[in-house]
Structure 1
Amino acid sequence: MIFWWFLLLMGAVSWALTGFLYRYALAKNLIDIPNERSSHSVPTPRGGGVAIVVAFLVIIPILNLFDLLSSAACWALWGAGSAVAVTGFLDDHGHIAARWRLLVHFGAAAWGLYWLGGFPPLSVFGHMLDLGWFGYVCATVYIVWLLNLYNFMDGIDGIAGIEAITACCGGALLVWLVAPDSTAWMLPVFLATAVLGFLFWNFPPARIFMGDAGSGFLGIMLALLSLQAAWIESRLLWVWLILLGVFIVDATVTLSRRVLRGEKFYEAHRSHAYQYASRILGAHRPVTWAVCAINVFWLTPVASLVALDKLDGIIGLMVAYLPLLLLAYRYKAGDSQAQAKQDAS
């Protein structure tokens, strides 16, 4: 019963705090003004993701107090999440150079890895592979990439919230199925609930945007939750990678194509597949619902086969990602020139 009361309270806190932040952003003129690189057309307050940060960071030490979360996991999530959220908050209110943001991101990733015990052994075609120090490097890059791609993908109303909720619910269910005696499934449920309170204000048409504080925080939390799950059972890392496939594929394909074309990938743009789809359809809501449907009806079933050891993790990842790669190609991810021609026609 304590769990359910905490869950209800967290959702209410996130919802109420987002409403407060909406009024605060209006009072302080923290408004996203549309420009040629925007996917929205109406000036909209930003920074509502702070509600997710506060609600989730408050519950972490409480779970530790009730022995539902280890002290190591508590330090990993609290320290890394706080650093990224504060940096994002300051960037939302002014500007922090990319090199300093990346320095904080790598530091937060290293902190989280240290407390979680590093990179767990990988299950590869039935064999356990311990990458040693190279695993730490790979895990650090993975965390920083997921953190930043979540920021890149937070470009239309509701999409980042829907992705987090569906991935967390799928992840929680599959962690519970694989390790029912573990309490690790609770964390994704709490994170999904915190996001749900915010999504009430952000679902299309959004009244407030998440901002860098919220998107970066979600990215690093999801990365650390996937590594925590992998320490319980190695194949759960593949499960989380599959569940987050929409964001991983779109962002990775977009970045890769921009780099190959010699474009400044770090500059703001709107050449992601999901942004192009929203322009073709003339609305954000159909794209956000499509992401939800892909996650629930395609990625979660494939991830379930991997979690239940009916399908090898790498094979499952390939099966899950192939249609996503085709969609990325169909909606011209990263090909800004082709998108511009299509928009003009």
Structure 2
Amino acid sequence: MIQSSQLISQTTKIYFFKVVLSELCYFKKKTVVSVILYVLSFLMSFSIVYFLIPPLGRLAFRLDFVDKPRQDVERKIHREPIPLTASYAIFIGFFITYLVFAREFSMETVALFAGGVLLLTIGTIDDWYKTKGKDFPALPKMIVQVSAAVLVYFSGNAFTGFYNPFSGDYIVLPVVLQFLLTIIWIFGVTTVINFSDGMDGLAGALTAISAITLFIVALTKGQSSSAIMAIALVGVTIAYLRYNKPPAKIFMGDAGATFLGFILAVIALDGAFKQATALSLFIPILALGVPIFDNIFVVVKRFIQGKSIYQADATQAHYRLLRAGLSQKQVVAVLCLISVCLSLSSIILLLIET
């Protein structure tokens, strides 16, 4: 009887260790596959942009689609014509990568693509006006940006609420508030990234830092779709920076900057804001802290002074630092360092929450 009991015990232990070993092997295999997937996503998005930008730059010169220096505009700090075609490489690189590796074709994907096309189109018109030394009206851009945000909301990707940190209950916001907060978030992030695109390498670097942070958040929460979007965005921005670092050889223009802001906003909605607590709501805000806080200051200042809050000028932090005597490279380095610190703060918040 004792031998039989011992045999059963040993059999149970063997079975238990087999199950544990099987689970560990499955977890390890799944982890390796995920790592390979993300590495390939990064490499594909990077490669597409890296190899598309040179021919697009040459095409821009042939079409005279270039940003020309203007002594009468303080924001124009470059000294020679620069192509404005990097946005198309960024758009193509991002969406090809996302569609290949996310392997989903939902209403959210359709809305993301349609919104991206809208922003690329209106941004191209705006950039074309710049090539002629003219300013495109702000109202059509605002309407298109809001329209892109509305598409995302009605596709089902929205800020719906958050968890109460004390009771653990999920607080569902009224539908009207869900709509308004989603639109304000997407429109706001799209705008602040566009406003930060005033110096070689700045908007691309800030976007890359924010995207890396949102990628880490998505990984921690097990949100593979958001992680693919984020790592694809990292790839396209780093490839773009190869040509946009000071002195820039190409610009992405309003078309590219608004597209990057739009994608960042959607990644946050699809990832960091999903099942968020009151504390973790600050994670994406800190991840995008430099452009958000800088442009809140700028908008409030313009409003107090009675100026148009949407009219481009030279009041952003990068212009102020440039006037203070820093070089372009130093300005970009300082703002990126601040962005890294804010991103690390957001990751600390994530660790506290988990």
Does the pair score TM above 0.5? Answer: yes
2:343 equivalent in structure 1: 300
Contact kept, 8 Å, 2:41 with 2:231, in 1: the verdict is no
Contact kept, 8 Å, 2:162 with 2:172, in 1: the verdict is yes
Q: For 1:117 and 1:62, how far apart are their aligned partners in 2? A: 21
Note the C-alpha offset of 1:278: 2.0
Note the C-alpha offset of 1:226: 0.6
Contact kept, 8 Å, 1:76 with 1:116, in 2: the verdict is no
- AA at the equivalent of 2:85: G
Q: For 1:181 and 1:221, how far apart are their aligned partners in 2? A: 16
1:343 equivalent in structure 2: none
Q: For 1:124 and 1:291, how far apart are their aligned partners in 2? A: 34
1:106 equivalent in structure 2: 146
2:112 equivalent in structure 1: 77
- The yes-or-no answer on 1:86 pairing with 2:121 is yes
- The yes-or-no answer on 1:259 pairing with 2:324 is no
Contact kept, 8 Å, 1:47 with 1:92, in 2: the verdict is no
- AA at the equivalent of 1:217: F
Query: Residues 37, 130 of structure 1: CA spacing in aligned structure 2 closer, same or farther, 3 A cutoff?
Result: farther
Contact kept, 8 Å, 1:171 with 1:185, in 2: the verdict is yes
Of 190, 193, 215, 1:147 maps to 190
Contact kept, 8 Å, 1:85 with 1:213, in 2: the verdict is yes
Query: Residues 147, 181 of structure 1: CA spacing in aligned structure 2 closer, same or farther, 3 A cutoff?
Result: closer
- The yes-or-no answer on 1:200 pairing with 2:242 is yes
User: CA RMSD for the aligned pairs?
Assistant: 2.2
Q: For 2:157 and 2:245, how far apart are their aligned partners in 1? A: 37
- 3-state secondary structure, aligned to 1:263: coil
Q: For 2:313 and 2:247, how far apart are their aligned partners in 1? A: 21
2:42 equivalent in structure 1: 7
1:268 equivalent in structure 2: 312
Aligned-residue sequence identity (percent) comes to: 23
After superposition, the C-alpha distances for 1:201-229 in whole angstroms (9 at most, x for unaligned) are 00111111120110000111111111111
Query: Residues 294, 124 of structure 1: CA spacing in aligned structure 2 closer, same or farther, 3 A cutoff?
Result: farther
Q: For 2:345 and 2:353, how far apart are their aligned partners in 1? A: 10
Q: For 1:183 and 1:146, how far apart are their aligned partners in 2? A: 20
Of 158, 179, 190, 1:136 maps to 179
Which stretch of the first structure deviates more once superposed, 253-262 or 85-94?
85-94
Which stretch of the first structure deviates more once superposed, 285-294 or 232-241?
232-241
1:42 equivalent in structure 2: 79
- AA at the equivalent of 1:63: F
Contact kept, 8 Å, 1:116 with 1:228, in 2: the verdict is no
- AA at the equivalent of 1:51: A
Q: Which runs of 5+ in 2 are unaligned?
A: 1-35, 130-134
Of 269, 290, 293, 2:334 maps to 290
After superposition, the C-alpha distances for 1:28-70 in whole angstroms (9 at most, x for unaligned) are 22232233322514123223222111111222322343xxx46
1:161 equivalent in structure 2: 204
Query: Residues 84, 29 of structure 1: CA spacing in aligned structure 2 closer, same or farther, 3 A cutoff?
Result: same
Q: For 2:323 and 2:163, how far apart are their aligned partners in 1? A: 40
After superposition, the C-alpha distances for 1:113-167 in whole angstroms (9 at most, x for unaligned) are 1213432213465464322221211221221121112111100110101011111
- The yes-or-no answer on 1:241 pairing with 2:277 is no
Which stretch of the first structure deviates more once superposed, 245-254 or 257-266?
257-266
Note the C-alpha offset of 1:2: 5.1
Q: For 1:226 and 1:3, how far apart are their aligned partners in 2? A: 18
- The yes-or-no answer on 1:278 pairing with 2:322 is yes
- Higher alpha-carbon Rg: 2
Query: Residues 230, 171 of structure 1: CA spacing in aligned structure 2 closer, same or farther, 3 A cutoff?
Result: closer
Query: Residues 205, 59 of structure 1: CA spacing in aligned structure 2 closer, same or farther, 3 A cutoff?
Result: same
- The yes-or-no answer on 1:211 pairing with 2:248 is no
1:315 equivalent in structure 2: none
**TM-score between the two structures when normalised by the length of structure 1:** 0.82
Which stretch of the first structure deviates more once superposed, 155-164 or 11-20?
11-20
Q: For 1:140 and 1:163, how far apart are their aligned partners in 2? A: 22
Of 48, 59, 73, 1:24 maps to 59
**TM-score between the two structures when normalised by the length of structure 2:** 0.80
- AA at the equivalent of 2:148: A
